[in-house]
Chains A and B, each alone.
Chain A
Amino acid sequence: MSSHPLALIAEITHSCPLHCVYCSNPIEMTSRKSELSTAEWVRVFQEAAQLGVLHLHLTGGEPLARPDLVELVAAAQKAGLYTNLITSGLGLAEARLQQLVSAGLDHLQLSFQDSRADSANWIAGAKAQSHKIELAHAIRKHSLAFTVNLVVHRQNLDHLDEMIRFIEDLAPDRMEIANAQYYGWALANRAALMPTRSQVERSVAIIAEAEKRLACRIRIDSVVPDYYAQYPKACMGGWGRRLMLIDPAGKALPCHAAGVIPGLAFDSVRDHSLRWLWDESPAFRRFRGEDWMPEPCRSCERRAEDFGGCRCQAMLLTGDPNATDPACSKAPAHRLIEDVLQAGSTDSAQPVSASSFVQLQQQTLPLWTYRVNPK
């Protein structure tokens, strides 16, 4: 077990101008009025740095929706944290970008939904594509690390090659091609998003080819869909081993989706130090180490590599957070995953556009539900 977290994920707000159908935020989101204040976040960043945290990931929702974002970046920088902003880019004009860079932002990760504007806007439930492209060019004029993130799924994987070339033209240092992970909104929309086996197989070959072509220019990090993997992902690098997430109201979680586990209470930075939350809080101790493990995990030679997979996925799919992650081919409940893959149709839908978000919601209803904002 690490004696301290290496990275802190700060969900500074759940508010977001996009409505992405695969959003990893919980369905039950934190309201704006219960968000931590500037001073509370600054204290969290200082404690994190003292604890030995190296990286801070500012995320949301959309972190730009916080009017004090520049102040928060400056405070993180002053505390000594390597600061990464994970953003859709909406609400970021040139002047504020300059302020963020001057405040010491180290890394900016900009999300794209697709290379094709009609499809991107359809997936995000908002007209965002042209602004994102303009912003990507503006970011490149500054000296900070720039990552373009693309979430892939059934509705866009057929033109992955085109999307990689589109990102290449934006000239990031790094591109992240991440398959949707099935929690929160993505789980609700799983039938429309789950890729087919042939899509997954082709995408692996396309990414391998792109890695070779872009070597030394753009680093590619890809996240495979765990439903198609033989072994589960080492979720969060193991429960309470490397990462701590603070939600907008200050609750400390071992994982984005941990709120789905019944009976698990999350203590807040409003009442406790980060040191106590990491070492002592019941939520972080619940699945730390190997004592909780059932068979076949307990005697599995891979248990120190994938830590039994994801506790939240085990809960969501089997109803038991102690179960072996069904994504594992050795899991007693692996059949649940196989059934989902067999049930998947092979057709992709066609992008829809509408004059208002309400109309767009209505027109895409049987296909998927858009993420909506907290009250």
Chain B
Amino acid sequence: MAPPTDTSQPHFAPGCRWGGSETERMVLFPEGAIKIEGTGRRILEACDGERTFLDIVEELQANFSASDPARIRADVSSFLESLQQKRIIDY
């Protein structure tokens, strides 16, 4: 499957959801769990099925204006694509 496009609306795949505590956020899915912190957590919290991939990228680019915008876009794209391959995120 392809990486997300600008209009993709990433969201959790069926049966995947947040768990753990506020200080130790986990993503729970069938037979597993991943601890998510930092930027990864920010990206996933924005994957509400409403915001588009472009919205999420632009929000991060605004928050990290010192970093290369193209790099941020590529990182978010590959992060979401890897979670799509694990059947945790759909878009």
Using A106-B17, A107-B15, A173-B14 as known contacts, say yes or no to A216 and B28 having CB atoms under 8 A apart. no
A146 near B15: Cβ-Cβ < 8 Å: yes
Q: Are B29 and A145 in contact (CB under 8 A)?
A: yes
Question: Is A80 positioned at the interface, with any CB of B under 8 Å from its CB?
Answer: yes
Knowing A55-B28, A174-B30 are in contact, say whether A219-B86 is a contact too (CB < 8 A).
yes
Contact in complex: A145, B14 (CB < 8 Å) = yes
Q: Could you tell me if A174 and B14 are in contact, using CB atoms closer than 8 angstroms?
A: no
Q: Which of B31, B84, B86 has the most CB of A within 10 A?
A: B31
Complex: how many Å from CA A174 to CA B31?
Answer: 11
The answer to whether A317 has its CB under 8 Å from any CB of chain B is no
Q: How many residues of A contact B (CB 8 A)?
A: 21
Say whether B60 faces chain A, with CB atoms less than 8 Å apart.
no
Contacts of B86 in A (CB 8 A): 219
Contact with B28, one of A82, A173, A215, A219 (Cβ below 8 angstroms): A82
Please tell me if the beta carbons of B14 and A221 are within 8 angstroms of each other in the complex: no
CB of A144 within 8 A of CB of B87, answer no
**What interface size band does chain B fall in?**
10 to 19
| Contact partner, B30, options A84, A143, A215, Cβ 8 Å | A84
A216 touches B15 (CB 8 A): no
- Please indicate the chain B residues that have their CB under 8 angstroms from the CB of A145 in the complex: 13-16, 29-30
CA distance A307 to B17 in the complex (A): 32
Residues of chain A within 8 A (CB-CB) of B1 are 215-217
The residue in chain B whose Cβ has the minimal distance to the Cβ of A80 is B19
Cα(A348)–Cα(B28), bound, Å: 41
Q: Please report B residues at the A interface, Cβ cutoff 8 Å.
A: 1, 13-17, 19-20, 26, 28-31, 33, 84-87
5 A–B contact pairs at CB < 8 A? A54-B20, A144-B15, A215-B1, A216-B85, A216-B87
Known contacts A6-B33, A54-B26, A84-B30, then 9 further A-B pairs from the complex at CB < 8 Å, ordered by chain A residue: A82-B17, A82-B19, A82-B28, A84-B31, A106-B17, A145-B13, A146-B15, A173-B15, A215-B85
